[in-house]
């Protein structure tokens, strides 16, 4: 697995050291026994097993293992890049959450794990800092009153408010309620314009994007055979279809006019950004290579401004950066 990713493995190992240095610069450390520590050790372990194939368990379902690898690598990259911005220190309260929650943003976590939701706010804030914003406000993760968007960042001359919500149900009423709450937060704030940001990591079926193709035999004790796509456009299209279905069901049950009324005469743009993260596998140079699928989809309920589309494109660009 990942036989052609030797260089990437070692770059990820170096990334752990750089990440530790960034945290130490803020007076923070990776706590022993935390999930954060385990994920960092996981990266080092994967490097060792790459070099020593005899350490691998051929019957193991490695997908969660490698989801942790690419998810942690992505988060560390975003944090390291964000520390170049002079406002990085404002993220310290959220960075502290990394030690008390599973920090991954590409796997399912429990609805009870509210700290993971705060890490999603941190993740979006790092993207905003990557845009070289000269002003950013991040709502206190410990004393949030719900009367401010989670992030206010100055982008292209305007104060953008982002209400970040983690969906834990595909039910149309739950999704609509989250949108309403985000719009209300933006409206009550000092932001000039804004948009809800919803992550679907807890409702998407990650195994569809990286299947075991002999599932019955695997469950009977045989070695798993992992599916791998020839083109990233295939899993990307699958994700598009998931978001489109979510949109159609929302409009069908809530009604487009009811949804639009939520945004009428409000600061928020009439739509929301849907964050779609997962891990998949691609065939590259005849080898299956673990690959992240990481993108924002714009879900419009009415005409959104060109400025909104521009900001979404810039945030999407930040998502794709690997260093």
Q: Is 252 a domain residue? A: yes
Residue 4 has pLDDT above 60, yes or no: no
Q: Is 1 a domain residue? A: no
How is residue 178 written in tokens? 């989250």
Residue 254 zone, left/alpha/beta (φ > 0; ψ -120 to 50; rest) = alpha
Question: How much is the pLDDT for 146?
Answer: 63
Closest of 82, 96, 103 to residue 153, by C-alpha:
82
Question: How much is the pLDDT for 53?
Answer: 87
Angstrom distance (rounded) from CA 162 to CA 185: 9
Q: Is 228 a domain residue? A: yes
Give the confidence band of 6 by pLDDT, cuts at 50, 70, 90. very low
Supply the range of the domain harboring residue 108. 6-320
Give the confidence band of 145 by pLDDT, cuts at 50, 70, 90. low
Q: Is 49 a domain residue? A: yes
Question: How much is the pLDDT for 51?
Answer: 82
Question: How much is the pLDDT for 112?
Answer: 81
Question: How much is the pLDDT for 25?
Answer: 95
Q: Is 83 a domain residue? A: yes
| Structural domain count of the chain | 1
Instruction: Give the CA angle between residues 244, 213, 40 to the nearest 5°.
Output: 80
Which residues are 295's β-sheet partners?
276
Residue 148 has pLDDT above 70, yes or no: yes
Residue 5 has pLDDT above 80, yes or no: no
Q: Is 92 a domain residue? A: yes
Residue 316 has pLDDT above 80, yes or no: yes
Q: Is 224 a domain residue? A: yes
Question: How much is the pLDDT for 248?
Answer: 97
Give the confidence band of 74 by pLDDT, cuts at 50, 70, 90. very high
Hey, is 153 helix, strand or coil?
Answer: strand
CB 202 within 8 A of CB 108: yes
Share of the chain above pLDDT 70, in %: 96
222-227 mean pLDDT: 96
- DSSP codes, 105-144: SSS---TT-HHHHHHHHHHHHHHHHTTT-S-EEE--SSS-
Residue 294 has pLDDT above 60, yes or no: yes
25-32 mean pLDDT: 96
Angstrom distance (rounded) from CA 249 to CA 265: 25
Give the confidence band of 48 by pLDDT, cuts at 50, 70, 90. confident
- Among the residue ranges 204-218, 262-276, 279-293, 296-310, the one predicted with the least confidence is 279-293
Angstrom distance (rounded) from CA 272 to CA 300: 7
Q: Is 59 a domain residue? A: yes
pTM of the model: 0.93
pLDDT digits over 268-291, tens only? 999 999 999 999 999 988 888 889
Give the confidence band of 2 by pLDDT, cuts at 50, 70, 90. very low
Under 8 Å CB-to-CB from 127, ≥6 apart: which residues? Answer: 78, 315, 318, 319
């Amino acid at each position: 697995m990942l036989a052609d990713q030797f260089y990437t493995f070692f770059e990820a190992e170096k990334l752990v050291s750089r990440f530790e240095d960034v945290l130490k610069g803020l007076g923070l450390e990776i706590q022993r026994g935390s999930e954060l520590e385990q994920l960092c050790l996981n990266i080092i372990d994967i490097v060792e097993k790459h070099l020593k194939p005899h350490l691998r368990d051929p019957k193991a379902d490695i997908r969660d293992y490698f989801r942790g690898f690419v998810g942690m690598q992505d988060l560390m990259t975003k944090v390291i890049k964000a520390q170049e911005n002079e406002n990085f220190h404002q993220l310290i309260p959220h960075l502290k959450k990394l030690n008390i929650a599973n920090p991954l943003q590409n796997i399912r976590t429990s609805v009870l794990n509210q700290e993971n939701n705060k890490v999603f706010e941190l993740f979006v804030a790092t993207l905003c800092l990557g845009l070289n914003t000269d002003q950013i406000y991040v709502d206190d993760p410990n004393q949030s009153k719900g009367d401010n968007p989670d992030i206010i960042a100055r982008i292209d001359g305007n104060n953008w408010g982002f209400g970040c919500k983690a969906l834990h149900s595909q039910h149309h009423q739950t999704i609509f309620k989250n949108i309403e709450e985000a719009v209300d937060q933006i409206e009550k704030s000092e932001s000039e314009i804004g948009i809800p940001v919803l992550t679907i990591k807890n409702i998407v079926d990650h195994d569809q994007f990286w299947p075991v193709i002999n599932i019955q035999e695997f469950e009977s004790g045989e070695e798993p055979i992992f599916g791998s796509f020839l083109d990233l456009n295939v899993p990307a299209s699958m994700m598009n279809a998931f978001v489109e279905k979510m949109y159609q069901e929302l409009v069908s049950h809530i009604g487009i006019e009811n949804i639009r009324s939520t945004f009428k005469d409000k600061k928020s743009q009439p739509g929301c950004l849907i964050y779609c993260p997962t891990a998949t596998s691609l065939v590259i140079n005849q080898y299956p290579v673990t690959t992240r699928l990481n993108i924002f989809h714009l879900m419009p309920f009415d005409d959104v401004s060109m400025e909104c589309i521009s900001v979404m494109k810039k945030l999407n660009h930040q998502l794709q950066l690997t260093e």
